[in-house]
Structure 1
Amino acid sequence: MLEIGMKIQLEMKNSDNSKTDIYLCTIIDETEDNYIINYPVHKETLKTTFFNIGTYFSAVYVGEDDAIYRFPTKITSRKKAKIPSLYITKPEVEQWKRIQRREYVRVDASIDVAVHSVLHQFDPFTTTTLDISGGGVAIITPKEVELVLHTLVDIWLPLEIKYQNKIHHAYAQAEIVTIRELNIRKNVVSLQFHSITQKDRQEIIRYCFDKEREKRLKERN
């Protein structure tokens, strides 16, 4: 289920179970019994972290079906090379846990978005999102921009990838599915992704997952 090049999160409760630390890494190789990962980076501090052999984690990743998968794992060994790496155990079949269809996880988010008409029905414009999910996005539009239901638009979304300290520019072709009034000057337009690459969808889903996690952590604190 996991392939070389896929990104995973390693989660570990701190000593008093009051907080879950999240570490980010990539599968760089595998053996019969282990996945080989690069050294994990703490999601908040962006610092590489040293772990003892035998350290247990809960591993989380996004599958090709856009669902979240979780499994228990532990560090079995480390390798010092040009790219230092760790060996973590592969789970037994019964240890895989499918959490949910991530594309239906919608989060509030204000992201800059560029919008172009596929049929050149209006001039390109930029605005912000109201919310986003792996299946679509809601954007705020000025009323003077005349949009037509069920037509297609091209959109570009710059997503902040915190653990890599970079911006991922996701592109999608989307269908206008609803238009409703927000106030006297603006509308809220819901867009459903019509055509999007697997990589861009996964980055959007990962962004939503991170936002939802941040929200839950704030509520707990």
Structure 2
Amino acid sequence: MLPKVNQTLFLQVASSDEEEAGVDYKSRIADMDDDRMMIEIPINERTGRYKKLYLGDELSAFFITDGGVKNFFSTHVLGFKDEAIRLIAVEKPDPESITQMQRRSFLRVSAELELAVKLNDHVRFLALTDDVGGGGISFIAEGKWKLKPEDILECWLALPYKNGSIEHASFRMEIVRVKPLIMGRDQIMAKFNAITDGERQKIIRYCFERQLQFRKN
């Protein structure tokens, strides 16, 4: 079930500052199309102050349906629109990604990074990520690899930092969803199945550097 126009959204904004990441905001959905939701500027529920958002900001959100059920999803800021009031465009969630179980929010950014993937001893290949975050990755793969939900992948991700250095993060992922694309390719959405805190921090560091780059452009 998707949220509807005029429905209230309750939000948290991903941040490296734990105190800021725990602040609760609320907003209203002003409009919606196939891919985006236009929301009003979020308001801090405790202070009543508006929260300024930036392109690429990741949001952890929920809306309430009949019976007081909280429906959680993650989204991110796509852009802005100035009308009678300023509106913020955020990615419309896939209905399959909405859950009634709250999940920790992790920053996720669009990025094309080289990913080495091992499915088993006979299937190894290179791919490019579509987006990356502290909770998982999506990447583009050739359909010939026949990847499917619940497959476990061993991965190595190259992370270029703004100081010119490159680090590699290694982890295991579980495929959550496979979306067929054109030209015989698939978009693979996966969550981390096994990753150390150190390897996760490498990815989060890259994401925050990437987000700062979005804000400067």
State the TM-score, normalizing by the size of structure 2.
0.53
> CA offsets per residue over residues 7-47 of structure 1, 9 Å max, x none?
xxxxxxxxxxxxxxxxxxxxxxxxxxxxxxxxxxxxxxxxx
Larger Rg: 1
> CA offsets per residue over residues 109-157 of structure 1, 9 Å max, x none?
000000001x44x510001000000000001010111112112100100
Where 1:172 maps in the other structure, the secondary structure is strand
Residue number in structure 1 paired with 2:138: 138
Contact 2:148 2:177 in 1 (8 A): no
Residue number in structure 2 paired with 1:154: 154
For residues 179 and 212 of structure 1, what CA distance do their matches in structure 2 show? 26
Instruction: Give the C-alpha shift of residue 161 in structure 1.
Output: 2.2
Instruction: Give the C-alpha shift of residue 213 in structure 1.
Output: 1.2
Where 1:180 maps in the other structure, the secondary structure is strand
For residues 161 and 179 of structure 2, what CA distance do their matches in structure 1 show? 31
Residue number in structure 2 paired with 1:174: 173
Residue number in structure 1 paired with 2:111: 109
> Does the alignment pair 1:68 with 2:16?
yes
Where structure 2 has 5 or more consecutive residues not aligned to the other structure, the ranges are: 1-13, 23-57, 59-104
> Amino acid of the residue matched to residue 161 of structure 1?
Y
Contact 2:114 2:129 in 1 (8 A): yes
For residues 193 and 15 of structure 2, what CA distance do their matches in structure 1 show? 19
> Does the alignment pair 1:98 with 2:100?
no
Where 1:189 maps in the other structure, the secondary structure is strand
For residues 180 and 149 of structure 2, what CA distance do their matches in structure 1 show? 14
> Amino acid of the residue matched to residue 138 of structure 1?
S
> Does the alignment pair 1:212 with 2:211?
yes
Where 2:145 maps in the other structure, the secondary structure is coil
State the TM-score, normalizing by the size of structure 1.
0.52
Residue number in structure 2 paired with 1:197: 196
Task: Supply the RMSD in Å over aligned alpha carbons.
Answer: 2.0
For residues 140 and 20 of structure 2, what CA distance do their matches in structure 1 show? 31
